[in-house]
Amino acid sequence: MVAMTVAGFRREVARRRGARRRGAPRYPEALVLFAVAHVQAARRAGRSLHAASTELGLNAVTLGAWLKRASPQAHGKLREVVVSEPVPQEAASGLEITTPSGHVIRGLGVAQAAALLRALR
């Protein structure tokens, strides 16, 4: 298969839309795979699904469905949860922090609260 570009993808989408009689056009798997790879790369680069859909000239809902179909393990599967022992009350500090966004953190030690705040950034 010849390497596709975003401009080539947009031309092919426009051609298929113009050729349809009614309803949404069907896209071959090669176009779907290109779009999925483009969206995944865009997301890794920090861009949104909406931005990627605008670049490709497709509806974000369509791209979202293609992404879900392409990576079913990321949707609806159970994930392992590790349950840790509760912190004994005597080890918990009286520290209380209210973040600028209104979250209240209670019952953690200084190191735990600092780690949580770093993770929330």
The 10s digit of each residue's pLDDT in 68-114 is 888 766 556 677 888 888 766 555 567 788 877 777 888 887 888 88
In a domain, 48, yes or no: yes
Find where tokens 């393990």 sit: 73
Tokens of 114: 């600092």
In terms of domains, do 12 and 62 share one? yes
Structural domain harbouring 31: 6-74
| DSSP letter, residue 87 | P
In terms of domains, do 95 and 64 share one? no
In terms of domains, do 67 and 95 share one? no
In the predicted structure, residue 121 carries a pLDDT above the cut 60: yes
Total domain count for the chain?
Answer: 2
In a domain, 41, yes or no: yes
Tokens of 2: 């010849």
In terms of domains, do 38 and 94 share one? no
In terms of domains, do 70 and 17 share one? yes
Region of 88 (left: φ > 0; alpha: ψ -120 to 50; beta: rest) is: beta
In a domain, 94, yes or no: yes
In a domain, 82, yes or no: no
Instruction: Output phi, psi for 117, to 5 deg.
Output: -65, -40
Q: How confident is the model at residue 63 (pLDDT cuts 50, 70, 90)?
A: very high
Determine the Cα–Cα distance for residues 50 and 59; give it in Å rounded to an integer.
8
In terms of domains, do 12 and 66 share one? yes
Per-residue pLDDT, averaged over 27-53, amounts to 92
Determine the Cα–Cα distance for residues 121 and 19; give it in Å rounded to an integer.
48
Instruction: Output phi, psi for 104, to 5 deg.
Output: -110, 125
